[in-house]
Structure 1
Amino acid sequence: MDFKDSIQQLSERIAKQQDAIVTEEGTKNAFIMPMIAALGYDIFNPFEVVPELDCDLIKKKGEKIDYAIMKEENPILLIECKHCKQDLNLHDTQLQKYFVASKARFGVLTNGIEYRFYTDLDKPNIMDEKPFLVVNMLALTDADVEQLKKFSKSYYNEEEILSTANELKYAISIKSILNNEFKQPSPDFVRLLAKQAYDGQITQKIIEQFTPIIKRSVQSIINDTISDRLNVAIKTNDDKTKQEEDSTQNAKEELPDGVVFSDRDSGIVTTQEEIDAYNIIRSILRKSIDAQRITYKDNKTYFVVNIDNGYWWICRFYFGSRKKQICFPTDNYKSKEMFEIETIDDIFNYEDKLIESLKMALRE
């Protein structure tokens, strides 16, 4: 199993098991130790992983770092662990004390779900206040996996990580700033753009006039980008389907009308109607979440719309030849409710249900 598969498998495990973890030790055993192992370190080898490491500068009895990853008898990565339901914002100062007392260049604060990576870019041996990398195991991206891979035993290179850490740190900050500006443009942001579109003096009245215009314009750009990516994704899926058919049948075989993908071995048939229904879901929910996080998986008997290709689903479609049904989870996935629809346009009538299911999936 390669590194990416190991990390994705761990992500799926976390999604299924997080509600069953009731202690910090349980978090370590179920989530954090498997992550250390996935990075290629032997958790039972004291030359590679040291639990409960004492730090020389810490005088208070019982103050120990949960894990230290070692290389050539020196710590290279400190890991401070918390329970999987703990807010990490309440615990970053504790890691700072360990960091200053160690020769390690990197520190990690984690609750087994979110991993925050720190170093000392601002002042030598003083841990930065902000992490240069944040990875959420329930919302993994390919970029996250590649950054995690740099900390694995086989690929670890301190200088290479430090060379990109500064850029990553500011990228996180800028992304947060832009996200806030796009949601609610500040007067300075409005003034900056208005100067390029308006010839007169930028007064408070002009700022108030341009604020909603800029907000709508930004949303329009985002919507256009989403639409373009959807078209590319559908085209890519069609191309992939064609390649798979050519390789298995040694001849081009046209799909029936209304079918965009068919797998003879699994019996899965994806129809254009299902893809259209999926796109309707995205159009409804993109006001509440980045549309790229809304994904789907087709099964033999139903089509499911979920978050980040993960375990938590928003709705399911059952599109038969005689009737169409849409299904929503209820009671924190302990049960579900089904509704019959005549056409996929009826999905718009269930906007409240979709938003409720989205909130449930994000909570989980």
Structure 2
Amino acid sequence: MEFAERLAALALKVKNQREAIQTEEATKNAFIMPFISSILGYDVFNPLEVVPEFTADVGVKKGEKIDYAIMRDGEVQILIECKKSTEALKIEHASQLFRYFAVTNARIAVLTNGEVYHFYTDLDAPNRMDDKPFLVLDLSDIDETLLPELSKLTKDVFDLDSVINAAEELKYVGALKRAIAAQFREPSDEWIKFFTTKVYDSSFTQKVREQFTPLVTKASKQFLNEQVNDRLKTALGSSFPAATVTAAAEESVTSEPIAEADLDRDTEIETTLEELEGYQIVKAIACSEVKPQRVVHRDAKSYFAVLLDDNNRKPIARLHFNGKKQKYLGVFDEEKNETRHAIESLDEIYEYAGAIRASVTSYMD
């Protein structure tokens, strides 16, 4: 399983089990130890690689412990401090990391609650842990641009120098992206005023502020969606031709034979960003068996089809995302019968990776 797939699988595990985890110890066992082992690749049961409850006397603080120390060649390289999954991370939680960072050889410190991981180093002053992380990994919303740098901390390709060299840019680019994202979610007064004065010539009064707040919010979100759609169109090399299907999908979870007739084109069809994101996940799974260019999509009024070789007689999966409330993923058996599975989020598509790959390999036979 590739690095990104392992991370996606852990993210799904965290999502499904988060509500059942109420203590710090349970968080370690359910989320953090799997992160260390399956994502970073270290043996959590080998004390030469991972030391739990690592102890190093710090000044007057005797016998104080850090949750995990990751070792390489007998030296501490990464320190990890854990909090329970129900607790939001704060810099106040990192007091032990600050102390241990100064008295060990570690250049990377991690503060985590099992879902969010804050990675720190010493950019501001040598041997003194920074107040702000240079990398923030949120398993509920994975930023794929961070994965190449994160992978450099894994056991097989450990490259600390490269990570440190990239840390300053990662730190500020990440902080800027989070600040921009916050403005898209809930624009500040300064953001509203900045854009309003670009298009509105009169005085910026309270009444104008109230008028333009929803307008700036709406325009910001529409702009972002348009940019994402344009990037997806470029990446897929497609202008998203519209299509429709001869048989409508039913609302309930059922098994049904696939329609053999060709899909007719229909200009009323709207391909959504969510459908394209789902297609990319299915394609990533299918590409373990075939070349990427063989996995294509056709949109329809009733569903979004993912096909092998652009042949509707070779269905890989169907995305039934047109309902207002419930989404379904359709997968196929050897007889091309479709079974729909209710899903709450796109990440759950990974749960059916085996069925998707089986469909692809059945056509290869």
Could you tell me which residue of structure 2 aligns to residue 323 of structure 1? none
Question: Is 1:301 aligned with 2:339?
Answer: yes
Shift of 1:117: 0.8
Q: What runs of 5+ residues in structure 2 fail to find an aligned partner?
A: 233-270, 332-337, 352-365
With over 3 angstroms needed to count, the CA separation of the structure-2 counterparts of 1:297 and 1:212, relative to structure 1, is same
**Cα deviation digits, residues 21-75 of structure 1 (max 9, x gap):** 4543333233222222221222233332222222242432331111111223221
Could you tell me which residue of structure 1 aligns to residue 167 of structure 2? 165
CA distance in 2, matches of 1:133, 1:108: 10
The 5-angstrom pairing of residues 165-244 of structure 1 reads 165-198=167-200, 210-225=212-227, 229=232, 230=271, 237=279
Amino acid at match of 2:73: E
Could you tell me which residue of structure 1 aligns to residue 15 of structure 2? 15
2:31–2:114 contact (8 Å) kept in structure 1: yes
Amino acid at match of 1:302: R
> In angstroms, what is the RMSD of aligned CA positions?
4.3
Shift of 1:310: 3.4
CA distance in 2, matches of 1:168, 1:296: 37
With over 3 angstroms needed to count, the CA separation of the structure-2 counterparts of 1:154 and 1:194, relative to structure 1, is same
With over 3 angstroms needed to count, the CA separation of the structure-2 counterparts of 1:188 and 1:5, relative to structure 1, is closer
Could you tell me which residue of structure 2 aligns to residue 78 of structure 1? 79
Question: Is 1:276 aligned with 2:334?
Answer: no
1:140–1:308 contact (8 Å) kept in structure 2: no
Shift of 1:152: 0.2
Question: Is 1:67 aligned with 2:113?
Answer: no
CA distance in 2, matches of 1:212, 1:117: 36
Shift of 1:308: 4.4
Q: TM-score, normalised by structure 2?
A: 0.64
With over 3 angstroms needed to count, the CA separation of the structure-2 counterparts of 1:208 and 1:275, relative to structure 1, is closer
With over 3 angstroms needed to count, the CA separation of the structure-2 counterparts of 1:144 and 1:204, relative to structure 1, is same
Amino acid at match of 1:12: L
Question: Is 1:54 aligned with 2:92?
Answer: no
With over 3 angstroms needed to count, the CA separation of the structure-2 counterparts of 1:187 and 1:302, relative to structure 1, is same
Q: TM-score, normalised by structure 1?
A: 0.64
Could you tell me which residue of structure 1 aligns to residue 5 of structure 2? 5
Amino acid at match of 1:307: S
Aligned length: 291
Question: Is 1:31 aligned with 2:31?
Answer: yes
Shifted more, 75-84 versus 258-267: the winner is: 258-267
CA distance in 1, matches of 2:200, 2:165: 41
The 5-angstrom pairing of residues 313-352 of structure 1 reads none
**Partner SS, residue 79 of structure 2:** strand
Shift of 1:197: 3.4
Shift of 1:108: 0.5
2:9–2:350 contact (8 Å) kept in structure 1: no
With over 3 angstroms needed to count, the CA separation of the structure-2 counterparts of 1:265 and 1:84, relative to structure 1, is farther
**Partner SS, residue 309 of structure 1:** helix
Could you tell me which residue of structure 1 aligns to residue 141 of structure 2? 139
**Identity %, equivalent residues:** 36
Shift of 1:210: 4.6
CA distance in 2, matches of 1:12, 1:184: 27
CA distance in 1, matches of 2:299, 2:84: 51
Could you tell me which residue of structure 1 aligns to residue 98 of structure 2? 96
CA distance in 1, matches of 2:124, 2:55: 25
Could you tell me which residue of structure 2 aligns to residue 339 of structure 1? none
CA distance in 2, matches of 1:232, 1:149: 28
CA distance in 2, matches of 1:129, 1:51: 24
1:27–1:84 contact (8 Å) kept in structure 2: yes
**Cα deviation digits, residues 74-130 of structure 1 (max 9, x gap):** 211101122232332251223222222222111011122221111122222222222
**Partner SS, residue 76 of structure 1:** strand
Could you tell me which residue of structure 2 aligns to residue 40 of structure 1? 41
Q: What runs of 5+ residues in structure 1 fail to find an aligned partner?
A: 283-294, 314-364
Shift of 1:227: 5.5
CA distance in 2, matches of 1:111, 1:146: 22
**Partner SS, residue 339 of structure 2:** coil
With over 3 angstroms needed to count, the CA separation of the structure-2 counterparts of 1:108 and 1:257, relative to structure 1, is closer
2:306–2:315 contact (8 Å) kept in structure 1: no
